[in-house]
Amino acid sequence: MKFEQYDISDKLQRSIADAGFRRPTDIQYKSMPAILRGEDVLAIAQTGTGKTAAFAIPILNTLINRKAKSNTNAVRCVVIAPTHELALQLEKVFISLAKYTDLSILSIYGGVDQTPQKAKLNEGVDILIATPGRLFDLRSQGDLDLSAVEILILDEADHMLDMGFINDIRDLIKFIPKKRQTLFFSATINKSIKKLAYSLVRNAIRIQISPKDPVAKNIDHAKAFVEMDDKRFFLEDVIKSEPDKKILVFVRTKVRAERVKKAMERVEIDTDTIHSDKTQDERLDNMERFRNGELKILIATDVSARGIDIPNVDFVINYDLPETPENYVHRVGRTGRGDSKGQAMSFCSTEEYDILAEIEESLGKPINKMEISKTDYKNTIKISGEKDNDWQKVMGEIDTENQQVRKKKNRKKRK
């Protein structure tokens, strides 16, 4: 089935054609009819499967065809996203698809001045895309009217739970009409996700696009056993072996992100970082430079980069293994978006064997192993462009930090 066969507005058909969409992806094909009928939907789909358009297209069509219930500036549709980067990405998609309509779209998020956001809300907004914290703040201050919300969408719901937003979401729901359409989108599902979802939806249609392998089939992902102090040499080797590739590097903490950046500077590799200690402008600038290809290597933490649709990421490198199996799927899903092919490599040190076991158990099979002979391992370190061996001492702090993280996690397990 092609998009042109759907009973949707001509204005949307034009923007869909402009975007180069021809046939719906699996999640779009299965969820759009139900959303167009006004039903609640609980959708579980891998990252990179086109789920944003899966709800954006039918919601825009609904708002085009349905008159607002009042003449006030009350918001008609609320989309809640866990991070401001994702909120901006969603806003971009909605604006692109709505460009031939007169619907107004706005994203609001923390870390920036509230005044411009309040001014735009006063002008009237049909579709509001917001992070939970800023949404809660503006509502509590009386600057946001949620009394006319017809449609509520939670995107990356699992990530919102991970970030501790569940109470904010439950409080916000109290101010949104009970008679509404609710769409709940998540890349993973567990007991907590189910509990939250079924407290929000009514007789929802459940749609799950989850093959046996939760990692998309067009992503070639592998692991390499590399000791903690040696990881920087192997990262250097990958980057220098693929000089024209766009590479997203994941680390566990913002401190480690800056340390890895400094390690790459020592071997004359240009990188930058994105994490919570960066200012809003710095984060947006680094994301844009990485998106347009000016910056080839971006080092990120999970909180900053999850859910972001960056085109043409050739390679994802898990410099540190993630703390949860779900984050592994999200990380490697930053490459191989849509129909594109992608590669991912995970460095696993001795200290991370337990984490690797958890990830592989969740995946239901071992991750392919990249064999590294002792000779190749030694040569990778030997041919590094790093000149000062004193850096070994500095980077050794990373090993200490990692051990502390593992000890803390083990103590929690024993409790």
> Which stretch of DSSP H or E encloses residue 343?
strand 342-348
E strands present in 55-210 = 77-80, 105-108, 127-130, 151-154, 181-186, 205-209
Q: How far is CA 73 from CA 116, 122, 132, 144, 395, in A?
A: 16, 7, 20, 9, 54
How far is residue 110's CA from residue 75's CA, in Å, rounded to a whole number? Answer: 19
Q: Please provide the average confidence, as pLDDT, over all residues in the chain.
A: 86
Give the Cα separation of 38 and 25 in Å (integer).
20
CA 105 to CA 94: how far, in whole Å?
Answer: 7
Average pLDDT over residues 384-400: 56
Q: Is the pLDDT of residue 49 over 80?
A: no
Reported as a single tens digit per residue, the pLDDT across 174-188 is: 899 999 999 999 877
Q: Which residues pair with 343 in a beta bridge?
A: 220, 315
Tokens in use for 131? Answer: 């992070």
**pLDDT per residue over 114-166, tens digit each?**
999 999 999 889 999 999 999 999 999 999 999 999 999 999 888 888 777 88
What domains does the chain contain, in order, with CATH numbers?
3-209 (3.40.50.300), 219-414 (3.40.50.300)
Q: What percent of the chain has pLDDT over 90?
A: 55
In angstroms, the CA 352 to CA 227 distance is 10
pLDDT-derived band at 394 (thresholds 50, 70, 90) equals very low
Q: Is-contact 193 154, C-beta < 8 A?
A: no
Note the helical H segments in 201-279.
231-241, 254-266
| Among 115, 152, 113, 151, residue whose Cα is nearest residue 132 | 152
pLDDT at 406: 54
- Name the residue among 307, 66, 276, 327 with its Cα closest to residue 185: 307
Confidence band, pLDDT 50/70/90 cuts, at residue 197: confident
